[in-house]
Amino acid sequence: MKLFTKVTFHLILFSMLLCSSGLYAQNPSSISGKVTDESTNEPIIGATVTVVGTNLSTSTDENGNFSISNLPANSRISISYLGYDTQSIAVTAVMINIGLVPSSSMLEDVVVIGYGTVKRKDVTTAISSVSLEDLNERPIVSAGQAIQGKAAGVSVIQPNGAPGGETSIRIRGTTSFNGSNDPLYVVDGVPVDNLNFLSPNDIADMQILKDASSASIYGSRAANGVVLITTKRGKVGEAKIGFNVQATQNRVANQIEVLNTAQYKELQDEIGLVNIPVGLTDQTDWFDETYNTGNIQNYQLSISDGTDKLRYFLSGGYLNEKGVINTAFYKRYNFRGNIENKVRSWLTINANVAYSDYNSNGIITGTGANRGGVVLSVINTPTFAPIWDVFNPGQYNTDFYGINITSPLENIARSKNNKNRENRILASGSSTITFSPVLNFKTTFALDRRNAMATTFLDPLSTSWGRNQYGEGSDARNMNTVLTFDNILTFNKSYDKHNIEAMGGSSWTSSDYRNSWINASHYRDNLIETLNAANKISWDGTGSGASHWAIMSYFARVAYNYDSRYLLTANVRTDGSSKLHPDHRWGVFPSVSAAWRLSAESFLSDVDWLNDLKIRGGWGQTGNQSGLGDYAYLQMYNLRRIEWFVTGQENAVPTISAGNLRTRDLTWETTSQSNIGVDFTAFNNRLSMNVDYYNKKTEDMLMYVTVPSGANVSGTIMRNEGVMRNRGFEINANTKNLVGDFGWSTDFNISFNKNKLESLALQKIYNTAVTSNFVNETVVRNEPGRALGGFFGYISDGVDVETGELMYRDINGDGRISSSDRTYIGDPNPDFTFGLTNNFAYKGFNLNIFLQGTYGNDIFNASRMEMEGMYDGKNQSTRVLQRWRVPGQHTEVPKAGFDLKNSTYFIEDGSYLRVKNVSLSYDIKGDVLTRWGIHKLQPFVSASNLLTFTNYSGMDPEVNQWGGSGAVQGIDWGTYPHSRSYVVGVSLEF
């Protein structure tokens, strides 16, 4: 019995041990754990924990903890978080702690591309990522300003300094003559035409698709490149409230000195057109009266939170910018809500809503002082004149002794009551169905609705123009609704070292535009500005209109890589546009790119200092239809109203006449681009470089061609007319110079681009850009064989010491100066542009210094024609004090009343190096803040446009009165100047 009992006991014990060992050998059905930073042991909030090969996924909470149930047998989990190396481990226990190692390389970062994402190391195309590190510390009004100087191959200028931060963006040169040269903006997957509605503080990520092989997935809208913007999202963990406030003071950086009254009288006596009385004295400093200290108030508030199922990000902001010129302002209210809900393991719903309301008032620029130009009238108005008419209270002074001029304050008054207001809602909803870990389907519907209103009012008393019109007002409104419907199926599968991604989809876009306008005059006084107070409503200046266009698109992408060593990507997109004739409506835009990671080959395995080396190349085509009207291929008609108030015409109806020469065979502008590049990372990831060369050819450029006059209903016809090419070379370099307690990193980029108009089919020469009315001659000529925007005029050979005249070169040698002696006198295209950012960090202090500039571009300073032309009674700058006065005098300034022409005398070197921004911040930390729940308290100060090194004599070298024009660049003609900005602010998070 004892033996039996003993044997039985040992059998039971053995069985228990077997069961126990079996349990420990099997995979647990659930797992919990904690994810921390291996170096600091701090919990990582929002790390993604995924069961490999399944839909099971979760995120760590505010303490870094996570748990997953219902694990399949023999499971592995993957733990990832931005900025850390991803780990993959087998599940062998019910409780596990994971320490993530901070990544020293950016190669594992995820990059947003067209309709998808890819790891940076697997990119086969030319993509630039824009650093947003110092975004909250700069006086940035628009998202476009954040790109300036931050990406190789991307030229960003602010054509003027008016409130609102207007920017002109060129990616790898100018590609269109009449169409838009702005890139396509895609915000959270929705294409938009501008970024005025977007608060820069809401941006989480910004990528720029520069070559055709990356942008062709957007087809006919991507010829100028694509800017992909992802806004902020909620994260799993503790709820966060962020508050950022900025106060900015703006001042004009450069002042042009003018003649005082005595000097002015002496000049006018020499010109001999105006008789200025003796004894006049200086009364008004027009610069001080016109320019003041501008300011910006910027408040941005955000709230975000998230769980495994639901994440949200809410933000709201208010920006108020008052310009350095009285009455100019820009106001914006913005709200955003981004919500993501994981309804089921296989279904995720997203909703993004952005609303903004912006209002602005500008001034009249780009014209002479006698036609309302404010900037030039500051210089041209004599200082002896008072502001107000002493004999007519409430009226601006107009007594300038016969000079046809209006003062800057009167010119400001002409537009002070003008308002441009727009409210915009961009709402999108999407659902993603995950059929399996390798296959998902996403459908997105988006609404982009804009309501705009522009109103004007000029009282009938204070200004001379207002008195001539008995006061005038207008009200113009428009509404534009754009609907977008995308459907995308994505397959992503790895077979050992083979990785395949396939994507196919469709996109439908429809735009409906409606507008109305009404003009009125004859107001009683200035008390009521609305049109009901006007006695005359314009009978032929009132009406409404509407238009519509649509695009249907189909696209696909296949990407393959073997062990991230050999990579191949192919895209194709076909677009059909309602703007084109059915026979020419569809366009196909293919692309292909490949890359070879040499650093993964055995022959480089022993090169210890090399972290990554990849060569890549690609070719693709993109299109552009922005130069087309909504009904470009149809016969258009003009309606003319008949004077119904004339006796006998009481019941008349409008007449109809042909309005254009029909062009049935219009088609897309097509840009073909090839690109070859090298990505290089070395020295323990402390140096990374990207080098690219591209060749970009635009064919079938949409242009307006002049046709012979006669029986034609129009003097121009739109045609696919020209060919243009851009070639360029760009370098982007990032270095970590010092690491440790004192950190120093540098970002540098430089871009070279050569533009050339290669051919034109019918019209061989395009002349444009008339500035001074006195000269009344175009200064820009575009023709094959040259870069766009070339300045055309006379070559000045200095001042004749005997006569004081400006000498012009006799090009054709016929012994006289005539229009046939004109030639190319300048090029507004820079040889290269560059940006340099240095970041320094030490014990909570962060110093950022950003330099930016251009080299080799010319500026036609048309403002000098008004400030130094000495052809009438306008006041001039003090430079004319150096003018020629007596025979034998050697000087660079000709005599008063010299022969004024568009010439090299007004061409200046526009190269500049600018200290664009210097910012200093400090991260305040302490136990008290922690107890109060404050995670971040960062006060900061910064200065923008602090110093500018240039030989340009104007108020600012970063200028173009023609704004974003492709055909006209680099002209300064009374353009609103840029400001020097000083910022103080604080960033708070709790």
Instruction: Domain ranges for the chain, please list them.
Output: 24-100, 110-233
Going from the C-alpha of 755 to that of each of 416, 429, 539, 783, the distances in angstroms are: 40, 41, 47, 12
Which pLDDT score is estimated for 335? Answer: 97
The first and second tokens of residue 193, run together, are: 């035409």
24-100 and 110-233, same CATH topology: no
Distance from C-alpha of 410 to C-alpha of 814, rounded to nearest angstrom: 48
- Structure confidence at residue 709 (pLDDT): 65
**DSSP per position, 506-547:** EEEEEEEEEEEEEEEEEES-SS--SGGGEEEE-SSS-EEEEE
The CATH class given to the 110-233 domain equals mainly beta
Burial of 361 (0-12, 13-18, 19+ CB in 10 A): buried
**Confidence at residue 16, expressed as pLDDT on a 0 to 100 scale:** 39
Q: Are 71 and 56 in contact (CB under 8 A)?
A: yes
- The whole-number pLDDT of residue 710 equals 61
The reported pLDDT for the residue numbered 662 is 83
> What is d(CA 974, CA 772) in angstroms, rounded to the nearest whole number?
11
The two structure tokens encoding residue 657: 């006449």
Tokens of 470: 């008995």
- Determine the Cα–Cα distance for residues 411 and 394; give it in Å rounded to an integer: 15
Give domain 24-100's CATH architecture: Sandwich (2.60)
Do 989 and 242 form a contact (C-beta atoms < 8 A)?
Answer: yes
Closest by CA to 966, choosing from 720, 787, 786, is 787
Q: What pLDDT does 9 receive?
A: 41
The partner residues of 551 in beta bridges, in order of sequence, read 509, 577
pLDDT at 10: 45
* Residue-level pLDDT at 683: 93
Low-confidence residues in the chain, pLDDT < 70: 1-28, 39, 82-83, 102-108, 134, 165, 709-713
Which residues, in sequence order, are bridge partners of residue 481? 449, 512
DSSP state of 882: G
Q: Is 279 left (phi over 0), alpha (psi -120 to 50) or beta?
A: left
759's enclosing H/E stretch is strand 742-760
DSSP string, 460-522: SSSSHHHHHHTSEEEEEEEEEEEEEEEEEEEEEEEETTEEEEEEEEEEEEEEEEEEEEEEEEE
